Structure 1
Amino acid sequence: MDNSELQPIFDFMRKLAPFDSLHEQTIKQCCQELTISYYSKQQKLVNVDSNEPQLYIVRSGAFEVTTQQGELIDRVAEGEYFGFSGMLSGEKIVNQVHILEDALVYHLSAKMFDQLRANSHSFDRFFNQAFAKRLRNQGSLQHSHISTARITHIMSRDLTTITADASIHEAAQLMSKKRLSSLVVVNQDKLCGILTDRDLRNRVLAKGLGGDLLVEQIMTKEPTIIEPNALIFEAMLKMSENNIHHLPVVDQERPIAIITSTDLIRSQSSQPLLLIGQIERQNSLEALIQVSQKIPDLLHNLISSDAKAIEIGRILTSVTDSLTRRLIVLKQKQLGPAPMAFCWLAFGSQGRQDQMAGSDQDSALILEKTPSEQDKCYFKQLSEFVCSALNECGFPFCPGNIMAQNPQWQLTLQQWQQQFSKWVNTPQPSALLNATIFFDMRGIYGELSLFTTLQTTVLNKTKGNDIFLAALSQNALQSTPPLGFFRSFVIERDGSEVKGIDLKHKGNALINDIVRTYALAAGIEEVNTSKRLESLIEKSKIDKEVAMNLLDAWEFIAHKRLTNQGQQFNNTQPVSNYILPDSLSSLVRHQLKDAFKVIHEAQGTIRLKFLRQF
């Protein structure tokens, strides 16, 4: 192009952020590099070549960026851009660009784009922020997916309540007038119960009782509740597990809505819930093995939908929990009822509810009392069946044999309390290194009060226990994030084979270790890492910025780990936790280094906090 053709382009570009922050000579060089295209509305779609990424600069006209399913991500008009996401992420472009109006577009090559980013901090920051916004827009789309949608998106705040001292007659009239199947019962605006049409039928009409009874006499007290920011998926699970059809939504002890099973059915069908429903209906191990073959596809679909890693972990764990419970029930149908109360425990990733591809088993039993030889035989058959069945369903045996089928981990409540006392009161670093997994525990099935009693005992022993916390901190510092001098990555090798960076053990696991130490020091009941951080912030036991950085780092590393596993799945490669830095874009490598830096700094903090006096 000659100068007369370049001048109007230059006049346009120099007023356009972030080009307006560049030197005039740099802008002129860009203008000389630009190519120009005209897009007619009749073309409908821009043919974006994923093999030749470039920055599209809209001179005139309008476009819509959508997912492959047609969901809107962004609208782009004069003076705006598209195409930068692929260059920043280094990933193949899968979104579609629809032509809304006839348009004139300038194209800037990826080479020039990268050069401008490298030479101008403001230019780089502008597109990083635009990329982050685009990711948030895409993330918001996931809320329409049942697995990641929240209660707030389907609940109505038009809540009808009644007081506990009202009569049944008044309650029935109110339900009839408003065509309701339930009423939330309140006392001074706080939830104290729920009254359903089933309660009226079973507790009043069926017994021939009169309408002058008080609501508090027949209502369901202490009903199962859910918070407004919980996942719809969690509401479905709660209804299924408790065999209920109404779920009060409570915010800071005050009811704000009620969710019914009909609301959930209307919202949309759920692949995870359908899978759990299938699990609960199976009556043989063979059938459960067949259903479990759908779990990898579920994981792949969740990864493809770009759901948050923390939510994928909770969903996968819910499936594992359901499978474990169903296997226990099936074996008990054969063996008969247990000879005593017991509780099946889950540890590690299942305990924390952050399972991912390849998670193995970590489990144990709490027994109500010392078992007889006959009792031992019962629990041996039960646990061996469940553990072997889980292995056949795709959940490998624990290499360290921390499983309920191991007699070493079939203990009475008193024996468990003694075992934890030994770990806490006389901590041996080597023994404690293998025992940390036990401090991430959750009751899965059976008499859950056995678990809560044990957990209370453990937290009472760990809270403020300087010697134990020092030993736990030492273990948390045994491994460090893979950063060397000048923030270069430290690559693991197996002989001549380059393995890459272990995102699990050198990333997420280190954050789990740090947060576990803080949580046990504060006596916090939560086991999930993000919930532990939330509780620590709430109780002012950790600096809020430190906690948020750890949470963001955990999510970023886990998300990268999942997307890498998704790519391995697509390429029919063995799924692993390793990733090669060279396979990542420069932006993602930079972000990964920042995440590892957060871990490094947090390790320094716990060293000062828990090891200073030792």
Structure 2
Amino acid sequence: MPDKFDTSVTPFDRLHHAEQKMLKDALDVAYYREGNKIITTGDACNHLFIIIKGGVEETSSDGTETYAHYVTDDMFDVRAQLENKSRHDYIALEDTLCYLLPREIFIELYRSNGQFAAYFDNNLARRQNLIEEAQRQQNLAEFILTKVDDDNIQPCLIVPHDTDLKRVTEKMRTQGFDAALVALNSTPQYGIVTRTDLLHAVMLDQLPSDTPVSQIATTPVISVNKDDFLFNAMIAMTRHKVKRVQVLDAGQVVGMLDLTQILSLFSTHSHVLTLRIARAETIEELSLAASSQQRLVATLFNNGIHTLFVMELIASVNEQIIEKAFQLIVPPTMHNYCCFVVMGSEGRGEQILKTDQDNALIIQDGVDWPDCANVMDKLTLTLQQLGYPLCPGKVMVNNPKWVKSQSEWLHTISRSCQQATEESMMDLAILADSHAVAGNRVLLNPLQTYLHQQLAEKELLLSTFTRPALRFSVPLTLFGKIKSTKQGVDIKRGGIFPIVHGIRALALENKIEPNNTFERIHQLELRKVLEPATASNLSEALKLFIRTRLRQQLNHQAGGQSQQLNVSDLSRAERDLLRHSLHVVKKFKEWLGYHYQIRD
């Protein structure tokens, strides 16, 4: 494997030919399982580590501070090569493969080649400046890597369910709280009451001051766990549109986090963006807020934030943009009588940059809405104005095929299963990823339940359903190398779609409810449908395809439209990983063909 080491990338391209040969001859390869400590604070560091595949976290010795994350092609610990002692711990975040360059070889190259040494000197200074700036500015990377702990958990007031409103108000004023948790009598869970709730109860609803606080408490209270990432607390607030979350430790309440505190820690506007969306009163205001979404993606990605974190946050932001558009366009009198659903990558929570619209509408049975078609036309054009392109396949609410009553949708699912054609199965595949984002969301539940009932354990139907996953060839040559056209590699057809659709079929077969492909893979592994190694490889391959495509889209400002990867833009290590991931897809397709007895 050291023979594959790419010396054409900086800083190794600064070495002379003989030096490059000496480096390659000295390289070794090591494998670390997830959770393994690679370097311990204070120990001598005898190698420079260069990541081939995986991820590594740099932390303080007590684990309370996280300084950096390292991914493919990153090097660590450079400082320890010069000081002969590491200042921090380095831990594998996932199964990780590294090149190992002996310290004595690194030092020899460092001393003999000025340009090579200058790179590391500058890089160290740059890294140190970034760390110091992060500590002063509380920048994005620090926020993402900060965990919910005693340093940021706020104490909370807990009152019994029968405490009267007057007493709760007095306690909140004297103890300096603007909210309190209410210990409910019937369950071990809590409700929450705020100063505003108390004000409205007494002044607007004219409740007596001796009214038990449980009568006005809001339930359920959204929770996060101690030691979870603060980033996840922010996502919970974004998704549920709340300003406070309770913090649990082993199931017990240990405090709270509130929006003001989160915003003081998070200075790069993701939650500010959601506030702008919530406050938008016109399409123009909503468009201005939505236009900053791509900058947010670029900021997160360029700061090395994990792809799945970016997906989850952007899915929440997209959902709020679309819901706000629905609220502004659809008459309020109809909001409780219809359900707007998104499908495709948006429905799975896997969209990062805005892609084609894929949506549908469910109307409650018996509701007469003569102006529905005009409203849906306007909503489709509004979403296009907000940056969501029209779907070439017309899977949109301006197409009557995707606007039906609940009973009509149930009949459509039944008829599609009876027809059992590839076209009807693809319609079901689109519906299988439905996610309600606006209106009366419970209208979607019977459709999802019925779809799973119709397809679960139906081998013949699932065989037809799965067949499209095998249709597009994997872009590999006969000798196993990447096959690219002048336009590049179509990574959606050749890599992403076979995984997404194959996993979707297996999820339906096994009655797995989540839409997200990564969660489906995890559930399939838990149910022993997929071997752990297969599940891990498929997840890693899909992440690689999404991450690589996103990097090129951001670099070329393709706006999410291009599915072609320019292989020449990739380093040798990246090409090797891409080739390996495509082989994972090829093997998975072979397994699907055997599992569903598909023979072409």
Cross-structure match for 1:381: 374
The alpha-carbon distance between structure 1 residues 248 and 553, as it changes in their structure 2 partners (threshold 3 A), is same
Amino acid at match of 1:105: Y
Q: Secondary structure at the match of 1:408?
A: helix
Indicate whether 1:499 and 2:487 are aligned: yes
1:76 correspondence with 2:79: yes
Out of 569, 577, 590, the residue aligned to residue 591 of structure 1 is 577
Per-residue CA deviations over 1:263-305 (Å, capped at 9, x if unaligned) read: 2222223423333332333333344444443333333323322
The counterpart of 1:156, out of the listed 150, 153, 158, is: 153
Matched, 1:422 2:419: no
Map residues 427-446 of structure 1 onto 2, 5 A cutoff.
Answer: 427-446=420-439
Which residue is equivalent to 1:405? 398
Q: Secondary structure at the match of 2:183?
A: strand
Task: Verify the 8 A CA contact 1:568 1:575 in the aligned structure 2.
Answer: no
Query: How far apart, in 2, do the equivalents of 1:414 and 1:151 lie?
Result: 47
Query: Deviation at 1:402?
Result: 0.5
Q: What is the CA-CA distance between 1:224 and the residue it aligns to?
A: 3.7
Superposed displacement of residue 194, structure 1: 3.1
Determine if contact 1:227/1:251 at 8 Å carries over to the other structure. yes
In the alignment of these two chains, the number of paired residues is 499
Equivalent of 2:514, from 526, 529, 535? 526
Say if 1:444 and 1:78 are closer, same or farther in 2 by CA, change over 3 A: closer
- Does the Cα contact within 8 Å between 2:355 and 2:560 map onto a contact in 1? no
Q: Say which is worse superposed, 302-311 or 236-245, in terms of deviation.
A: 236-245
Contact 2:475-2:482 at 8 Å conserved across structures:
yes
Change (3 A) 1:526 1:72: closer
Alignment correspondent of 2:543: 555
2:267 aligned counterpart, secondary structure:
coil
CA shift, 1:469, in A, is 1.9
Could you tell me which amino acid in structure 1 is paired with residue 553 of structure 2? Q
Change (3 A) 1:201 1:108: same
* Cα-to-partner distance string for 1:89-109 (whole Å, 9 max, x where unaligned): xxxxxxxxxxxxx99933579
Aligned twin of 1:485: 478
Does the CA contact (< 8 Å) of 2:459 and 2:596 recur in 1? yes
C-alpha displacement at 1:556, in angstroms? 1.4
Question: Which residue is 2:110 aligned to?
Answer: 105
My pick for the range that moved more, 466-475 or 167-176, is 167-176
Q: Does 1:604 align with 2:600?
A: no
1:349 and 2:345 correspond:
yes
Provide the secondary structure at the position in 2 that maps to 1:411.
Answer: strand
Describe the SS at the equivalent of 1:486. Answer: coil
Q: Distance in 2 between matches of 1:608 and 1:178?
A: 66
1:512 aligns with 2:508: no
Residue identity opposite 2:590 in structure 1: G
**Aligned partners of 2:276, 2:165: CA distance in 1, in Å?**
39
**Does residue 1:261 correspond to 2:259, yes or no?**
yes
Q: Describe the shift of the 1:281–1:499 C-alpha distance in structure 2 as closer, same or farther (beyond 3 A).
A: same
CA contact (8 A) 1:56 1:106 kept: no
| Aligned partners of 1:568 and 1:574 also within 8 Å | no
Q: Percent identity?
A: 21
Report if aligned partners of 1:565, 1:576 keep a CA contact under 8 Å in 2.
yes
Query: Residue deviations 1:184-218, cap 9 Å, x none?
Result: 6367994243344444444478745455x655444
What is the CA-CA distance between 1:163 and the residue it aligns to? 5.5
TM-score after normalising by structure 1: 0.69
Q: Deviations over 1:205-241 (max 9, x none)?
A: 8745455x65544433333445668765664565467
Distance in 1 between residues matched to 2:142 and 2:337, nearest whole Å: 36
| Native 8 Å contact 1:476 1:513 kept in 2 | yes
Larger radius of gyration: 1
| Deviation of the 1:148 alpha carbon | 4.4
**Matched residues in 2 for 1:590 and 1:344: separation?**
42
Aligned to 1:321: 319
SS at structure 2 position matched to 1:106: helix
**SS of match in other structure, 1:611:** coil
8 Å contact kept, 1:279–1:291: yes
- Aligned partners of 1:460, 1:227: CA distance in 2, in Å? 35
In 2, distance between residues paired with 1:518 and 1:252?
34
Looking at structure 2, the residues matched to 264 and 150 of structure 1 have their Cα atoms a distance apart, in angstroms, of: 11
- The gaps in structure 1 that reach 5 residues or longer are 1-25, 35-54, 58-64, 66-70, 82-101, 112-136
**Residues in 1 aligned to 2:278 and 2:559: alpha-carbon distance in whole angstroms:** 31
| C-alpha distance in structure 1 between counterparts of 2:274 and 2:467, whole Å | 40
**1:516, 1:529 within 8 Å by CA — same for their partners in 2?**
yes
- Mark the CA change 1:510 to 1:229 in structure 2 (over 3 Å): closer, same or farther: farther
Contact 1:533 1:547 in 2 (8 A): yes
TM-score for both structures, normalised by structure 2:
0.71
Aligned partners of 1:185 and 1:192 also within 8 Å: yes
User: 1:245–1:300: structure 2 CA closer, same or farther, 3 Å change rule?
Assistant: closer
Does residue 282 of structure 1 match 2:287? no
Quote the offset at 1:144 in angstroms. Answer: 4.5
Q: Give matches, 1:101-180, under 5 Å.
A: 105-106=110-111, 144-145=140-141, 148=144, 152=148, 156=153, 161=158, 164=161, 179-180=176-177
Matched, 1:330 2:322: no
> After superposition, what is the alpha-carbon deviation per residue over 1:330-380, rounded to whole angstroms, capped at 9, x for unaligned?
224xx55228600001010111111133511001100002554xx132x22
In structure 2, give the amino acid aligned to 1:344.
Answer: F
Aligned to 1:297: 295
2:14 aligns with none
1:543 corresponds to 2:531: yes
- Alpha carbon RMSD of aligned pairs, Å? 4.4
Secondary structure of the 2:589 match is: helix
1:443-488: per-residue Cα shift (whole Å, max 9, x none)? 0100011012222222232222222222222222222422222211
SS at match of 1:499: coil
Among residues 233, 236, 244, which one is paired with 1:246 in the alignment?
A: 244
Determine helix, strand or coil for the equivalent of 1:591.
helix
Quick one: which of 344, 361, 364 aligns to 1:365? Answer: 361
Structure 1 position 606, deviation (Å): 2.7
1:220/1:290 Cα in 2 relative to 1: closer, same or farther (>3 Å)? closer
Letter in 2 for 1:300: A
| Aligned twin of 1:306 | 304
SS state of the match for residue 304, structure 2?
coil
- Counterpart amino acid of 2:430? I
